[in-house]
């Protein structure tokens, strides 16, 4: 996404402040509407609840997101 450079993690930034982010819904989302959406940003990724598209989003730097994905793929659950 142009205009927003992520160099640190941000909690609860308003999703509408992320401008023209291209949000994608998780393929694991439930039919009841409990969905997680992700948007790639320059240097990071943002996550939001699809039921509240203007609500809070979590923004993670690329290194943090990559570490999370490696942990999930490697079987770490917390």
The pLDDT tens digits for 9-28 are 567 788 888 878 899 987 77
Asked, for residue 78, whether it belongs to a domain, the answer is: no
Asked, for residue 3, whether it belongs to a domain, the answer is: no
Residue 10 to residues 7, 15, 19, 27, 47, Cα–Cα distance (Å): 9, 11, 16, 24, 11
Cβ atoms of residues 46 and 58 within 8 Å = yes
Q: By residue range, what is the domain housing residue 46?
A: 10-73
Across 27-33, average pLDDT:
75
Asked, for residue 46, whether it belongs to a domain, the answer is: yes
Asked, for residue 47, whether it belongs to a domain, the answer is: yes
Cβ atoms of residues 64 and 11 within 8 Å = no
Cβ atoms of residues 21 and 7 within 8 Å = no
Looking at residue 24, its pLDDT comes to 92
Asked, for residue 2, whether it belongs to a domain, the answer is: no
Asked, for residue 64, whether it belongs to a domain, the answer is: yes
Asked, for residue 4, whether it belongs to a domain, the answer is: no
- Say how many domains are in the chain: 1
Residue 2 to residues 13, 20, 31, 40, 43, Cα–Cα distance (Å): 17, 8, 32, 11, 11
């Amino acid at each position: 996404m142009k205009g927003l450079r992520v160099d640190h993690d941000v909690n609860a930034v308003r999703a509408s402040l992320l401008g023209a982010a291209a949000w994608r819904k998780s393929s694991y989302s439930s039919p009841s509407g409990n969905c997680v959406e992700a948007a790639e940003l320059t240097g990071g990724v943002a996550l939001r609840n699809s039921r509240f598209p203007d609500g809070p989003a979590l923004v993670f730097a690329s290194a943090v997101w990559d570490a999370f994905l490696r942990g999930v793929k490697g079987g770490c659950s917390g």
